[in-house]
Structure 1
Amino acid sequence: MEVTIEHSFCPYCDEAIELYFRIVNTILFSTHEDDLRAGMEHLKNQTLLDEYFVYGYGAHHLWVCQRRASDKSKIFEHRILIARF
């Protein structure tokens, strides 16, 4: 997997910081798309991932955006990273 950090991450709490690094590690330890999807689903089910981040898939990539600390229904304007598979 190739991870590109596209924008700065806002470390507004310890839980968000931990999840950010767990997302990056999940991407880096994945060998193909199926591993990545399973890893992200596991992370979603085992943590509060959706409270701090929004993510989705394109045809050949995963994108991740960060939710705002002041209003979790809003996300920052730019995605923080993209992983190509």
Structure 2
Amino acid sequence: MNVTIEHIFCPYCEEVINLYFRIMNTILFSCNEAELRTSMERLKKETRLDEYFIFGYGAHHLWLCQRKPSDKNKVFEHRIMIARF
């Protein structure tokens, strides 16, 4: 995986910091797209990933944005990272 950090994330609590690094490790330890998708779904089930972040997939990448702490229905303007596979 080729990960590019595109924008700084907002470390507003300990849980979001820990989750950010778990996401990073999940991406870096994945060998291919299928493994990445499976690992992200597992992380989503095991943690409160959806409360702090939103992610999706393009044809050859995964993107990640952070939700705003003041309103979890809104996300910050810029995505924080992209992982190309």
Q: Which TM-score bucket, shorter chain as reference?
A: over 0.9
Stretches of structure 2 that go unaligned for 5 or more consecutive residues are none
Query: How many angstroms does 1:48 deviate by?
Result: 0.1
Q: Does 1:16 align with 2:16?
A: yes
Cα distance between partner residues in 1 of 2:42 and 2:18? 15
Query: What does 1:41-56 align with in structure 2 at a 5 Å threshold?
Result: 41-56=41-56
**Local SS of the residue matching 2:42:** helix
Deviations 1:22-48 (A, max 9, x none): 000000000000010001000000000
**Local SS of the residue matching 1:72:** coil
- TM score, norm. by length of structure 2: 0.99
Cα distance between partner residues in 2 of 1:81 and 1:26? 13
Q: Does 1:58 align with 2:58?
A: yes
- TM score, norm. by length of structure 1: 0.99
Stretches of structure 1 that go unaligned for 5 or more consecutive residues are none
The size of the alignment, in residue pairs, is 85
